[in-house]
Amino acid sequence: MSAPEISRTATHGANAPDESDRAPGAAPIGRRHSRRGRSRALTLLVLVAPSVLLLAVINGYPVVYGLVQSTHDSTLISSGAWTGLANYTHVFTDPSFWSATLFTLIFTVVGVFGSWAVGLGLALLLRTSVPGATAFKVLLMLPWVVPVVVSTTAWNWLIATSESPIPKLIHALGFADPMFLSDPTTAKVTVCLFKVWASFPFMMVMMSSALAAVDHALYEASSLDGAGRWQQLTRITLPNIGRSTYISWILMMIFCVNDFPSIYLLTGGGPANSTTTLIVLAYRTVFQNFQVGTGVAIAFVLTAALVLVSVVLYRQIRKVETA
Amino acid sequence: MSRQTRTGRRASGRWWRFALLTVITLIVLVPVLAVMWLCFRPSSSSSSHAFFTLENLTHVFRDTDVLIWFRNSLVVTFATVLVSVAVAAPAGYALSRGRGRAISGYSLLLFVVQSLPIITAVIPLFILFARFGLTDSLLGLTIIYVGSTISVATWMMAAYIDTIPIALEEAAWADGTGIWGSFLRIVLRNSLPGILSTATFAFLVAWNDYLVALVFLRSSGRFTLPVGIETFFQQHATDWGSVMAVSVVMLLPPAIVFGALNRYFSVGGIGGSLAGR
């Protein structure tokens, strides 16, 4: 992780391509308008062109077309009559939109900080000398590598009904069946915990690589000064991995908000819509209730919020970077 | 404190941590172990009482469409990997070597694009692709997967190409080689780890996708594994042996790819490339 940054500062220096563009001995003046400079810019343009084209068709077009749809009485086949902002007022006055918004927030906050706490804890544990650390690292990656469809299937088998192994075990121990997926409140907790289970390996890897970059001498110096473990964690470790932590939070936030299959395959958004997030709500509005205009409007509100938040946070990264 | 007791305490600490990690790992892997267990045990409808059996696997391959879905998943995934790397490598090169407003604007755009919820793209694209007969088609699916991997893939390539010293190229330019030549012969040739990690990323996205396949694929002959497996749940009583056999088929390729390439694939690389821009 640190290697690209080192070279980046190097390329920012005297070696920047604008400078290196001129061959040794060539006249420095008029470089920007030289034939060579222009052909160089043209080549770079050709190199990015395919990706620009793809972005325009797969990501740009849907945004524009979606804006059109959200202001029309759309169906899956036609755009329908222009209805102005009716779809948006419909969305904002619908209580199910607000309950989905609330659960999206809960799911994201628990997903981000829960997986971070577990991932950081394991990264700290794996940094110390432990027999078989590499094997643990590989095995602990599995929840993240296993396709979500497979892991939700496995969890469904383990907990879905009162006849599943874990509820039976809990019952045998003398406790009441928690109804993991059938009680509205418990289902919320279950879905959030599933997300933590599926995401902590990502955090573990991010935090491990950040911890590896912390200078060891800092710990030696601080223990000479009599710092305890807790002080070392809060005064040395956490400040030194601050930037990586921040980046991993942003990425995880995006992953959580955009997560469709975890929730859809565990609960379908139920029971009684208790685990419906905005993305599940948008899907169901379009493909189950066939209210395309409204569904796209929900997706747009979500998109606008996410883009806004991530651009603000993106700027923040650069500030953290230069600080 | 004598030296001996100190090292003794340290050694016992090592084993305590080992025990702790073993317990945690076992708990975390319960669902994965459940999949394996059910896959290799005789299913409830079976007459066999063997401890270990392959009959669930042979059953799903022989009597259901799993082989077709497996092939579809492989075709779509490999096509996505190839095209995404082919598009992202030159774009990453331009992003890494170019300077100026257009380039930094483009890099911000890539960041915004990667945070777009895929559901926003799926609905309009469904309508667009219907016009060209690309719904219920593996080609249509591949195009969307390439489109949705391209922003992160470009970053990952750019971050890797940043580590290749520009001096190597300057020497070639001085000898009269063009940018194309230095890109192909110097940069690409030295980018294998970057290419492999980008490929792993694209592989995981395409292989694991559920939402796009759910919306676009309609006929069983075109299903990929994630939507195919759902058909097993429509029966009244789920045959868990078959479901878990399909799960194992789905789980193995990413586990193998990840196991083989994990030293190239640092998730941190994605974060690092994000941070640098």
Residue A32: is its pLDDT beyond 50?
A: no
The answer to whether A117 faces chain B, any CB pair under 8 Å, is no
**Residues of B with Cβ-Cβ distance to A11 under 8 angstroms:** 96-97, 162, 166
CB-closest option in A140, A202, A292 to B25: A140
In a domain, B54, yes or no: no
- pLDDT tier, B173 (very low <50, low <70, confident <90, very high otherwise): confident
- Same domain? For B97 and B190 the reply is yes
- Please give the residue of chain A at the shortest CA–CA distance from B112: A307
Q: Each residue of B63-112: pLDDT tens digit? A: 888 999 999 999 999 999 999 999 999 999 988 888 778 888 888 888 78
Tokens of B159: 């971050």
- Same domain? For B33 and B164 the reply is no
- Same domain? For B112 and B23 the reply is no
**Residues of B with Cβ-Cβ distance to A139 under 8 angstroms:** 25, 29
Q: Determine the 3-state secondary structure of A72 from DSSP.
A: strand
Q: Each residue of A72-102: pLDDT tens digit? A: 887 766 667 788 788 898 889 999 999 999 9
What is the domain range of residue B113? 65-275
Closest approach of A309 to chain B, Cα-based (Å): 10
Domains of chain A as residue ranges with CATH: 95-322 (1.10.3720.10)
> Which residues have C-beta within 8 Å of that of residue A217, sequence separation ≥ 6?
none
- pLDDT tier, A67 (very low <50, low <70, confident <90, very high otherwise): confident
- Same domain? For B248 and B130 the reply is yes
Contact between A202 and A115 (Cβ < 8 Å): yes
Q: Average the pLDDT over B160-181 and give the result.
A: 83
Verify whether the Cβ–Cβ distance B124 to A69 is below 8 Å: yes
Tokens of B271: 């974060």
Q: Each residue of A183-208: pLDDT tens digit? A: 999 999 999 999 999 999 989 988 88
Q: Each residue of A255-308: pLDDT tens digit? A: 899 899 999 999 988 898 999 999 999 999 988 888 888 888 998 899 889 888
CB-closest option in B111, B122, B150 to A314: B111
CB-closest option in A142, A209, A283 to B29: A142
Q: Average the pLDDT over A59-69 and give the result.
A: 86
In a domain, B52, yes or no: no
Backbone angles phi, psi at A214, to 5 degrees: -75, 130
Verify whether the Cβ–Cβ distance A43 to B180 is below 8 Å: yes
CB-closest option in B38, B106, B117 to A279: B117
**Residues of B with Cβ-Cβ distance to A314 under 8 angstroms:** 108, 111
Interface list for A 198-217 with B (CB within 8 A)? 202, 205-206, 209-210
Residue B169: is its pLDDT beyond 60?
A: yes
CB-closest option in A1, A55, A283 to B150: A55
CB-closest option in B117, B154, B274 to A258: B117
**Residues of A with Cβ-Cβ distance to B98 under 8 angstroms:** 17, 44
In a domain, B46, yes or no: no
Residue A11: is its pLDDT beyond 60?
A: no
- Same domain? For B15 and B93 the reply is no
- Same domain? For B264 and B159 the reply is yes
- Same domain? For B174 and B132 the reply is yes
Whole-angstrom distance, CA of residue A124 vs CA of residue B128: 49
- Same domain? For B26 and B83 the reply is no
ipTM: 0.85
Q: What is the pLDDT of residue A25?
A: 35
In a domain, B261, yes or no: yes
- Same domain? For B218 and B111 the reply is yes
Whole-angstrom distance, CA of residue A28 vs CA of residue A23: 9
Instruction: Give the dihedral sign, CA A154/B259/B253/B160.
Output: positive
Q: B134, B167, B171, B156: which is closest to B204 by C-alpha? A: B156
Verify whether the Cβ–Cβ distance A147 to B226 is below 8 Å: yes
Q: Mean pLDDT of all residues in chain A?
A: 82
**Residues of A with Cβ-Cβ distance to B244 under 8 angstroms:** 153-154, 157
Residue A21: is its pLDDT beyond 50?
A: no
Contact between A15 and B166 (Cβ < 8 Å): yes
Whole-angstrom distance, CA of residue A269 vs CA of residue A104: 11
> From the candidates B116, B258, B266, which should be mutated to test the interface with A, based on the most A CB atoms within 10 A?
B116
Q: Tell me which amino acid residue A196 is.
A: V
Verify whether the Cβ–Cβ distance A65 to B275 is below 8 Å: no
Contact between A72 and A79 (Cβ < 8 Å): yes
In a domain, B97, yes or no: yes
The residue length of chain A stands at 323
- Domains identified in chain B, total number: 2
The answer to whether A305 faces chain B, any CB pair under 8 Å, is no
DSSP symbol at A150: H
- Please give the residue of chain B at the shortest CA–CA distance from A244: B271
The answer to whether A25 faces chain B, any CB pair under 8 Å, is no
- pLDDT tier, B53 (very low <50, low <70, confident <90, very high otherwise): confident
- Same domain? For B75 and B209 the reply is yes
CATH of the domain at B128: 1.10.3720.10
Q: What is the pLDDT of residue B263?
A: 67
> Which residues have C-beta within 8 Å of that of residue B137, sequence separation ≥ 6?
B129, B216, B222
- Predicted TM-score of the model (pTM): 0.85
Rounded-to-10 torsion of CA B220, B221, B226, B230: 20
- Same domain? For B203 and B134 the reply is yes
Query: Which residue did the predictor score with more confidence, B225 or A226?
Result: B225
**Locus of tokens 């993991």:** A180
Q: Average the pLDDT over A54-80 and give the result.
A: 82
Q: Tell me which amino acid residue A37 is.
A: G
**Residues of A with Cβ-Cβ distance to B144 under 8 angstroms:** 58
Q: What is the pLDDT of residue A35?
A: 64
In a domain, B31, yes or no: yes
The helix-helix angle for B240-261 and B55-63 (nearest 10°) equals: 100
Q: Tell me which amino acid residue B196 is.
A: L
- Please give the residue of chain B at the shortest CA–CA distance from A124: B17
- Same domain? For B174 and B254 the reply is yes
Q: Render the burial of B73-102: b for 16+ CB within 10 Å, e for the rest.
A: beebbbbbbebbbebbbbbbbbbbbbeeee
The answer to whether A258 faces chain B, any CB pair under 8 Å, is yes
> From the candidates A22, A36, A48, which should be mutated to test the interface with B, based on the most B CB atoms within 10 A?
A48
Q: What is the pLDDT of residue A27?
A: 34
Q: HSE (CB half, 13 Å, CA atoms) of A87?
A: 29
Long-range contacts: A231-234, Cβ < 8 Å, 24+? A233/A124
SS (H, E, C) chain B: CCHHHHHHHHHHHHHHHHHHHHHHHHHHCHHHHHHHHHHCCCCCCCCCCCCCCCHHHHHHHHHCCHHHHHHHHHHHHHHHHHHHHHHHHHHHHHHHHCCCHHHHHHHHHHHHHHHCCHHHHHHHHHHHHHHCCCCCCHHHHHHHHHHHHHHHHHHHHHHHHCCCCHHHHHHHHHCCCCHHHHHHHHHHHHCHHHHHHHHHHHHHHHHHCCHHHHHHCCCHHHCCHHHHHHHHHCCCCCCHHHHHHHHHHHHHHHHHHHHHHCCCCCHHHHHHHHHCC
Q: What is the pLDDT of residue A312?
A: 86
In a domain, B135, yes or no: yes
Q: What is the pLDDT of residue A322?
A: 52
Tokens of B190: 């030295």
In a domain, B223, yes or no: yes
Whole-angstrom distance, CA of residue A200 vs CA of residue A280: 23
